[in-house]
Structure 1
Amino acid sequence: MDDLTHILTFCRTVETGSVTEAAKSLNLTKSVASRRLSTLEENLGVSLLKRSPRGAVATEAGELYYDRARSILDRLDSARQEVSGLGSALVGRLRVTAPRSLGDILLNKAFSAFVKENAGIDLELNLTDKQVDLIGEGYDLGIRVGQLKDSSLIGKKLTDVRPAVVASPAYLKEHGTPETPEHLKDHECIFYSNVEARSQWKFQTSHGNTQSVRVKGRLITSSGKMQVQGALDGVGVAVLPMFFVHRSLLSGDLVELLSDYTQHTMGIYALYPPSRQQSTKVRALVDHMAAYFKSEGVKCCF
């Protein structure tokens, strides 16, 4: 059986993308880390990493081995906490990813508070609007906005989010105000690129009937903040979660449209791989985030 230190060195190299960074995080010299990796590959009889001057990435075999090895290390970490009585004193590293815009607007204070309250936790937070493979990239937890799809991940809804259809007063003065969803066909719309069927906007009437409208637009972005800016600048009409636009609506910089119609409620979810289900650290962070979203200071955002 391969030494766990070799396996840990390999996993950390995959997670950091660098033998040098992995060595630093484990308080090793680069030569020791490289020797461990070479020994592991020799024992397995396969190449686990592609090395280059820019770093190291897992091969196909390496990705498969990482998934299995990371799960084992996580289980060992959970077992260590349980048997050593550290369930209430959280220790270790947590790798978390969340949308950049959501993090910038809402989550930063919540994450900071969690770190301050748990001195034994090292929180590695990646804010990105890219769709992240939680299992493949070795994350303990992901925060996502939208409608939860079927997947191998376990999800907990942290809060509901109401979408709002918005535009700037200047845009409405020039192009008119849509009074029904059907009127949106005559307007320029702003799209979020990370959703399927982004040009097909669905509404529900007060009678419960669903109406689907195909809209057009030239601004397509993966950034919620860019959608807001486009709406503020009069580019067109946007559909955004309320937390993005509530301040602009209060100030009058944006106007909510079609308030007699509703879109499907979205949610903010905490997602984690099945291997992390029993992790005390993950459960503690999920509970912390759920309490944060119920606090009075952020309720107005939804």
Structure 2
Amino acid sequence: MSKIQPPPGSSDHQDLLASSLSASYAGVVAFITVANEGSFSRAADRLGIGRSAVSRSVQKLEGQIGARLFCRTTRATSITREGELFYQNCRPGVDQILQALEEMRDLREGPPQGRLKISAPHGFGRKVVAPLLAEFRARFPAVTLELLLDEGTVDFATDGFDVAFRDGRLDDSQIIAKQLIPMQMHVCASPRYASQHGLPDSVDDLVAHSCINQRLASGRLQSWDFKVDGQKRSITPDGAIVVNDPELAMRAVLDNQGLAQLPAYQASEALRDGALVACLEQDAPDDRGHYLCYLSRQQLPKRIRAFIDFMTTSIRALDLCGIELTAQRIHLPAAADAAGVPA
């Protein structure tokens, strides 16, 4: 009675396959090396093992396939007809393995190349990351880029991302999180809105103002975070306008529609040139940081290392934080005059 073979895909079949490959691998390597070198002794020297170990591996392989691969005499070793056929069948697979190893060596030692999949939040991705991609591609033309904007949690293994930009650290001890710049938040208004409605002096005063809220991908409204008298405080003010994109929130503020809490990377330029003014700076929340996240520091492909180094240097050079805003609140009328707004 013939032995019933387990069906393909079953755990028993996989165990049988793994056992067969494990038992055959050393024998195939030994066989290919003997065939190339023309003798067991030279094959042993090439592999860095004893001649007897090479001989045992080949003998075990011959037992597995039921054929003699070499004719051995005290003077010479020659390959049999069956050995030649087996060599011809094995050689393409061995060449593919050698090519794969060579390509991995090129990825480590040659210029950066290959595909890079990147995740970033919508606001930071559009405002900061996307404008830098052209320069990165100019420096590393062999690297192809895929940028996906998403506010959700990144699953590197499932989603296939190489790097991810995130506001705040990811709660995963397996992920390396490198801080790029601080994440400062500012409650902003246009000079015209400020001149017409004033600005809040405390967090509680926000109830008297038109506020612009942002809806997250999860469906909930994004809270406004503060630190009042040393204590963290989060509120969700009633929204005169609700949007699901940071740029739309910024646009509404510039259009004199109300107040919004915006990250410094987004509002810094408008704050510096007077298109926006800030308030409640005394209650600004703690810095959460903008991070560049990836899986491991060890054996990092050159394309990922090049991208991390480039983005770290380039983003820090943009001067998207460190804005001195304390004088803006005091000199608000001057800011309004400069913007052509009647005080």
Question: Which TM-score bucket, shorter chain as reference?
Answer: 0.5 to 0.7
SS in 2 for 1:123: strand
Q: Kindly report which structure 2 residues correspond to 1:4-83, keeping only aligned pairs within 5 A, or say none.
A: 44=9, 83=105
Higher Rg of the two aligned structures: 2
SS in 2 for 1:266: coil
- TM-score scaled by structure 1? 0.63
2:224 is aligned with 1:204: no
**Whole-angstrom CA distance in 2 between matches of 1:94 and 1:80:** 20
Is contact 2:108–2:302 with CA below 8 Å preserved after alignment? no
How far the C-alpha of 1:231 sits from its partner, in A, is 1.0
Is contact 1:134–1:272 with CA below 8 Å preserved after alignment? no
Is contact 1:81–1:87 with CA below 8 Å preserved after alignment? no
- TM-score scaled by structure 2? 0.56
2:125 is aligned with 1:103: yes
Alignment coverage as a number of residue pairs: 226
**Whole-angstrom CA distance in 2 between matches of 1:84 and 1:171:** 58
Matched with 1:173 is 195
2:303 is aligned with 1:268: no
How far the C-alpha of 1:195 sits from its partner, in A, is 8.2
2:248 is aligned with 1:226: yes
Q: Residue 299 of structure 1 aligns to which amino acid in structure 2?
A: D
2:175 is aligned with 1:148: no
Instruction: Kindly indicate which of the two structures has a greater share of residues assigned to strand.
Output: 1
Cα 1:121–1:224 change in 2 (3 A) is: same
Matched with 1:114 is 136
Matched with 1:251 is 273
Unaligned runs of 5+ in 1: 1-41, 46-75
**Whole-angstrom CA distance in 2 between matches of 1:172 and 1:89:** 53
Q: Give runs of ≥4 in structure 1 deviating > 6 Å.
A: 76-79
Unaligned runs of 5+ in 2: 1-6, 11-97, 323-343
Matched with 2:319 is 299
**Whole-angstrom CA distance in 1 between matches of 2:262 and 2:315:** 18
Tell me which of 184, 194, 201 is aligned to 1:162: 184
Is contact 1:203–1:261 with CA below 8 Å preserved after alignment? yes
Higher mean displacement: 113-122 or 274-283: 274-283
Is contact 2:182–2:321 with CA below 8 Å preserved after alignment? no
Matched with 1:217 is 239
Q: Residue 131 of structure 1 aligns to which amino acid in structure 2?
A: G
Matched with 2:312 is 290
SS in 1 for 2:293: strand
Is contact 2:188–2:277 with CA below 8 Å preserved after alignment? yes
